[in-house]
Structure 1
């Protein structure tokens, strides 16, 4: 029987890190409100508890810091963060949950209605649907 590491190149550019190592052994997100299209935004007040930002940097894993960097540009979807991290969505949701709990990012569903609360114009939606069907 062969071991799963036999075909791995020892001189690979990227280290092999198992997802459960990144999440501290957790396999499911503690939150059920994170979907693929949930938007993640950076909270600008980095330290509300008066903690030292340099000390906080050492607690965060590189993946947490990448999420903060990607979300600093503006709201970004969970699916985009997972792609940017090159990690499964389930692992990314756990990491995002850590940052939400720490007060570093916030999550919100994507806007589906116009700002005035009205539904989008049905003729536009039908035109888009018809255009997609034509592809």
Structure 2
């Protein structure tokens, strides 16, 4: 068993405070910097690679944490690393609901209940 503080290099809180349990994450297929040069990620921990693989299709923070079997706080730190490197995008799900013309309350209630069970 690896201790969470080992995975996060001793960090106990994420640098970003905008991740919620339902923030949607998507891996960037071919990340590039501001000049269009492909980004070559540095050494990634196994957990970072698992996150990128999981986020090939959009996933919520809670889903990623559950799939990795890690505490949400640790997962948020790892997610922040990947967003900072430009390998992962994060967006609030409310933008999806607004784009679709409003949220289905039944679906939102089902999601809430599912998150409570986590």
Distance across 2 between alignment mates of 1:112 and 1:51: 31
SS at structure 2 position matched to 1:27: coil
State the partner residue of 2:90: 107
* Larger of the two Rg values belongs to structure: 1
CA–CA distance in structure 1, aligned partners of residues 40 and 19 of structure 2: 29
Unaligned runs of 5+ in 1: 1-15
Distance 1:47 1:24 in 2: 26
- Structure with the larger helix share: 2
1:42 paired residue among 24, 27, 30: 27
Q: 1:51 to 1:44 in 2, by over 3 A?
A: closer
Is 2:55 the partner of 1:71?
yes
Structure 2 match to 1:88: 71
Q: TM-score when scaled to structure 2?
A: 0.77
CA distance in 2 between counterparts of 1:61 and 1:119 reads: 38
Query: Aligned equivalents of 1:100 and 1:41: distance in 2?
Result: 10
Name the CA distance, whole Å, in 2 between partners of 1:31 and 1:52.
Answer: 22
Residues 30, 38 of structure 2: 8 Å contact kept: no
Question: For residue 46 of structure 2, what is the aligned residue in structure 1?
Answer: 62
Give structure 2 stretches of 5+ with no counterpart.
Answer: 111-118
